[in-house]
Structure 1
Amino acid sequence: MHFSTCCELLVVITTLCYGAPSRSANTCGYETCNLGDPSKLNVHIVAHTHDDVGWLKTVDQYFYGARNDIQHAAVQYILDSVIIALDENPDRRFIYVEVGFFWRWWNQQTGDIQTKVQQFVNEGRLEFISGGWCMNDEASTHYNSIIDQHTLGAEFIRQAFGECGRPKIGWQIDPFGHSREQASLFAQMGFDGLFFGRADYEDIQTRNRTKTREMVWKASANLGEQSWLFTGILPNGYGAPNSFCFDYRCSDNPIMDDNRRFDLNVQERVRSFIQAAHDEAAGYATNHIIMTFGGDFQYEDANQNFKNLDKLIKYVNAEVYINNLQ
């Protein structure tokens, strides 16, 4: 997916993974990856939802959508909606993290739905990230608890989805601080990378200036390379770029593209996205950057998110096509 502006070229990719030259159909893992064009800035769009397994409400209330007067959140509807949206368009991709919620949802599904979800996993269209029962805190948790809750989640994924379901990336996007031991444990679990969303603002400023938002974390002084882990600090916390939140919870404008009407914004949206990509790329040393599209309990209406993402990618592609002809 290509576009250009001001003689600068980009590639926009809907992705779940990092590490292969091309994408193959009907397969999982890194074989599904598309790393774009080495001569362009490659923008990897990751659609996701962050679903706290207990915070302001109980786990039951979060799953079913009870006590929405406290916080509107209903994970069962998020998963229902995402599966429908993935089924409508085979180009769509989604990641999911909190197995404690997914396990409850899975056990309520018909055999037909379970088979369809297994197909999405086998085709690399739905991917489990981290794979723990929850996204654990890092400040007050004991390493035994971290191992146990990831074992519980990983065993469910193995039984339900086999090797194609095995998580390969750590996803600690919401804990308020990060421990060296967490990274070391992820490396020893066989993960290939770790992404997190929160860091001190002065650290982020320094990393933006020195292009070190990505690094190899040497997480243990005793284990050597066994504890080394590729680590990235996400560019927008874990949300979408400014003005590009398409969830029903947000107030950003949708992509308006009916050429028979007057309130159109396609050109402005495309150019704003291009600018956001270049601004973000300033903090990275390579021509590959990640863009998260999601947030707390988002995608309860997955169609609203994906419909606008589909349009954004479509018109960005059209922009590069027209510019390349000129």
Structure 2
Amino acid sequence: VGLSRWPLTLSLILLEDQIIQAFVIPHSHMDVGWVYTIQESMHAYAANVYSSVTEELSKGKGRRFISVEQEFFRLWWDSVASDTQRKQVRQLVKEGRLEFIIGGQVMHDEAVTDLEDEILQLTEGHGFLYQTFGVRPQFSWHVDPFGASAATPVLFSLAGFNAHLISRIDYDLKDSMQKKKFVWRGSPSLKAQQEIFTHTMDQYSYCTPSHLPFSNR
């Protein structure tokens, strides 16, 4: 998403006693089957992402990374990663510096995907993570699916997620949501166990602001 498409104005007033905290969250974002086949994506960039992430995280205890799509991570783990890299990854997961978010094979679409398929791909990804690392994802992460389904809060709550993150909603609606967080209920008739705390990203979405050119350095 190029931010140049959206004319944003940034006004910043600093007070003497004001501290602004900026959170930078490195994360994977590799659409499975979009434009390129899975094999083409692995060859072009996906395999290198996890090789380089493993190397960079191992250089400093303060470094962290979020892995989202299990399809590419599993292919890297099974067919690319060396024994040394697997050992490094296990340690990074143990330390909480490599964290798996949502944990499904993909970040599934919410508009046309059948509920059975959504459950299947989550089950497959979660099973791999638990069998391999003994971990279960704590948070769901849907920063790129277009639109939102009422089935989502129900499914993700029942899947055991503690909170949910979304991004692609109407831009005017984002402007009106000053705090950008809410408890999402799929239906007023459902119990509290089937709702999930949800945070909405601001207009920058999952990209860095254009005036902070991290990708150019």
TM-score past 0.5 threshold: yes
| Alignment pair present for 1:243 and 2:211 | yes
- Would the aligned equivalents of 2:28 and 2:69 in 1 still touch at CA under 8 Å? no
Rounded to whole Å, the distance in 2 between the matches of 1:88 and 1:50 is: 22
Q: Which has the higher contact order (CA 8 A, sep 6+)?
A: 1
Aligned match of 1:61 in 29, 40, 45?
40
Alignment partner of 1:123 is 2:95: yes
Residues 239-248 or 118-127, more deviating: 239-248
Query: Which one-letter code corresponds to 1:241 in the other structure?
Result: P
User: Which structure 1 residue ranges, 4+ long, deviate > 6 Å from structure 2?
Assistant: none
- SS of the equivalent of 1:241 reads coil
CA distance in 1, matches of 2:57, 2:38: 26
SS at match of 1:182: helix
Once the two structures are superposed, the pairs formed by residues 83-232 of structure 1 within 5 Å of their partners are 83-108=54-79, 109-163=81-135, 166-207=136-177, 211-232=178-199
Q: Given residue 246 of structure 1, which amino acid in structure 2 is its aligned partner?
A: F
Query: Which structure dedicates a bigger proportion of its chain to strand?
Result: 1
Letter in 2 for 1:215: F
Q: Which residue of 1 aligns with 2:18?
A: 9
Q: How far 1:240 moved relative to its partner?
A: 1.1
- 5+ unaligned residues in a row in structure 1: which ranges? 11-40, 66-73, 249-253, 255-326
CA–CA separation in structure 2 for the residues paired with 1:220 and 1:102: 34
Shift of 1:112: 2.1
Instruction: Give 1:243 shift.
Output: 1.4
User: Any idea what the Cα deviations from partners look like across 1:29-74, whole Å, max 9, x if unmatched?
Assistant: xxxxxxxxxxxx5443211121001111111101111xxxxxxxx1
Greater C-alpha radius of gyration: 1
Contact 2:68/2:107 (CA < 8 Å) preserved in 1?
A: yes
Deviations 1:155-179 (A, max 9, x none): 110111103xx11111111111011
> Cα distance, 1:6 vs. partner?
2.6
Q: TM-score, normalised by structure 2?
A: 0.88
TM-score (norm 1): 0.60
What is the aligned partner in structure 1 of residue 47 from structure 2?
Answer: 76
Alignment-mate amino acid for residue 141 of structure 1: T
CA shift in 2, pair 1:134/1:214, >3 Å: same
